[in-house]
Every structure is written in C-alpha cells, then in structure tokens.
Amino acid sequence: MAMLPTQQQLSAQNNAVKGIQELVEAGLTHVPRNYIRPAEERPCLSLVSDKEQVPIINLTGFYGENRERLIQEIGRACEEWGFFQVIGHGVTPSVIENFWAAAINFFQLPPDDKLRFLSEDVRSEVAYITSHNRTKEKVAEWKDTLYFRRLSGVFNGFKQAPEMCREAVLEYMKEITILANAIYKAIFLSLGLSSDYLQKTLPEFQRIVLGINYYPPCPDPDLTFGISGHSDITCLTILTQNDVPGLQVMKNGKWVAVKPVPGSFVVNLGDQTEVRVVFCCESIVMEHPSSSSVLNSHKIVDVLLPHFWFDVVAVPKLSDIIKREIQEH
C-alpha cells in the first residue's frame, strides 16, 4: 500500500531543492560551499578579452537582394568563431517584450508555485530546476531555470507552459523557430550546397528546448559561475541577453566577452552541426554571474537569459548524410 508524503516531508523536500533565487532573496550574504569552484576553475576576468567583438550580422534583406552576401557572412562567422549575433532578424519586438515580461512574471511567483514544475527528468515537457544537475554535479551553478521541451510527434511542452505565460511562450517559440530554420539552412548554403539538395537531405529540427536561465545577484561572483565552460550538444542555440554583460565565448583558446546588443540574438553552432560541417571551429560558451543589476518596474533582476536549443534527434540520419556526401565527393 502506497503512502502519500506528509506535509512535513513535502516541506523538507522543497527546502532541499530551494532555488538560488530564494536563498538570495532571503538575505544570503556569502556563496554557499556547494557553489564555490576549486581555485583553478574560478572566474578570472583579467583573462577575458573585450577588445574583440563577436560578429554582428544584420539580416535585413535576407530574403531579397542581400541574401547571397548575408549567407557568406554567416559562413565566415561560423568558420572563424562558431558564434555570431543577428539584428534585423524579423522577430516582432512586441513578441520579444511579451515573452520577457512573462518570463519575469514566472520567476516572481512564490516558491511553492514554481516548485509545482520541479523536475530533473530530461523527458519532462515542462521543468523547473535549480543549478544544472544537483544529483551528479560536484559544484552547483548559480542559476535557476525553467525549461520547455518539444519532441516532434511525441509531446509539446510549449502547450503545457504555465497559464500565466503560455501565450507569450508559444508566440515567441513560433517566431524563433522560423529564424532558426533560416539561419540553419544559410549555414549549409554558405558551403555551396544547393537549396534542392538541402530540401532532400537536411533533417528538420525534431527536438526544440527553450530554457530560461535566471541568475540572481551574487555576493561574491569571483567564486562561482552561472554556467561553467561547455559546448552545446545541439544543432543550433539561439539566445538573447539583457543589458547585463556576462556571456563569454572561446576563440583560439581565449575567452572573449559578448557585448550585449539591444534587440539582437546570439547564435551558437552546436556539436551536431560541427560534425555536419567540417570547417566549424570548436564552440564553447561560458556565462559569468555579474553582481550588477537591471531595474524593472517591479524588482531588481540580475540576469535573465532565454535560450533555444534546436536538435536533430535522429543522429544516425546525420551519419548517413555524411557517408553519402563522402561517396559523392
């Protein structure tokens, strides 16, 4: 006979998984031990360059007279950086604004309301987590995240989003997906592949994940990371920043700060795409929690960083395509 957990047990569980946001808002004045990086892994801003700039590509005219030039710009950015920023992308400003407002509203909910979505199962359609993977990581990351996941023909977590932000999330997802498809095809067109060839061989995105990372103010940001150095295993990542700096990318073995550009999206080639296009450089992303803040109409928000991951789940398809291309060339 199964027994339901008591209210006391539920409260204990909730306290055990309390997000870093709740700890900070409760008056946290130091970095907890489980968030402190080993000395050799801690942030070192003196090693981060702000003299270089991740390429900024204005996509205005992408479907018109500027198409060929822009495709080549995207190709160069992929080859030299593996990252670039896009402006003039066509995503409706009001859709972006509504999405940001909805995201902020979610993180302003009482802790118990957010914990209703608590899940560390990667198959969850909607999941709220703190850090990255509490059960496996040795050092926690200074962030809380709300995830939405869609797997074509299986489930669609965007339709299961909390009611207070569902409409904004769906509209945002629809427009970002259009942008992602255009950029992804442009990457391969820059290699000289024809549109007909891509239509026949390039798999559609089968898995789409939206993660909204919240990085609260850190009392000592020299001890920890919002997200430590990593590469994305996806095909493509599209993310947006507010005006608080902190995002860093690696180029030629050195970290480079990504300066926030109003209205832009940052595009990151993932590992799956790098397997597909031999010329791509190794892409690594690092996010550093800043102690500065952004004032909105309700409260202080340190960093809120939404990012979309686009995947081709059926990786064997990519292998078949690569083998076929080798045979044909």
Q: In this predicted model, what pLDDT tens digit does every residue of 141-150 receive, in sequence order? A: 888 999 999 8
- CA distance linking residue 115 with residue 111, whole number of Å: 6
Q: 15-23 — which CB contacts under 8 Å span 24+ positions?
A: 17/115, 17/118, 17/130, 17/134, 18/111, 18/130, 19/111, 19/114, 19/128, 19/130, 19/144, 20/130, 20/131, 20/140, 20/142, 20/143, 20/144, 20/216, 21/107, 21/144, 21/214, 21/216, 22/111
- CA distance linking residue 100 with residue 198, whole number of Å: 34
What is the distance, to the nearest Å, from the Cα of residue 240 to the centroid of all Cα atoms in its chain? 8
pLDDT 10s digits, 23-49: 888 898 899 998 898 888 787 777 777
User: How confident is the model over 244-258, as a mean pLDDT?
Assistant: 81
pLDDT 10s digits, 150-208: 888 888 999 999 988 999 999 999 999 999 989 988 988 888 877 777 777 666 777 88
Q: Are 310 and 236 in contact (CB under 8 A)?
A: yes
pLDDT band at 276 (very low <50, low <70, confident <90, very high): low
Alpha carbon distances (Å) from 137 to 132, 175, 210, 233, 319: 8, 34, 22, 18, 31
User: How confident is the model over 50-63, as a mean pLDDT?
Assistant: 91
